[in-house]
């Protein structure tokens, strides 16, 4: 029964491509969430900003480490550049 000994299966989910980091004043440590779609990461960053609860928000593209959004530094690349 060779079917019981097959190799590993490929992952069913696409790999994460963006990391949204945030820091709130009451937190001792920041949080980081990962997304595979640019639209989801962009929306998450905007929602965190609009809520006004975070002192720092960054979105990093994991492939090359480029900062696409940084609340403190005033960086907000348009979605088309993500």
- What are the boundaries of each domain within the chain? 15-81
Q: Which phi and psi (to 5°) does residue 80 adopt?
A: -60, -25
Q: What is the pLDDT of residues 11-63, one digit of tens each?
A: 787 788 999 999 988 777 789 999 999 999 999 999 999 999 899 999 999 99
Average pLDDT value for residue range 74-79: 96
d(Cα 61, Cα 81) in Å, to the nearest integer? 11
DSSP 10-59: PPSSPPP-EEEEEE-TT-SS-EEEEESSHHHHHHHHHHHHHHT--SEEEE
Q: Is the pLDDT of residue 1 over 70?
A: no
Whether pTM exceeds 0.75:
yes
d(Cα 20, Cα 65) in Å, to the nearest integer? 12
Higher model confidence: residue 10 or residue 81?
Answer: 81
């Amino acid at each position: 029964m060779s079917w019981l000994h097959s190799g590993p299966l490929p992952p069913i989910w696409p790999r994460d491509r963006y990391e949204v980091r945030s820091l709130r004043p009451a937190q001792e440590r920041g949080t980081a969430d990962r997304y595979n779609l640019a639209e989801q990461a962009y929306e998450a960053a905007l929602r965190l900003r609009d809520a006004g609860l975070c002192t720092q928000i960054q979105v990093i593209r994991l492939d090359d480490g480029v900062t696409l959004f940084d609340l403190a530094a005033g960086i907000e690349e348009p979605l088309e550049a993500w």
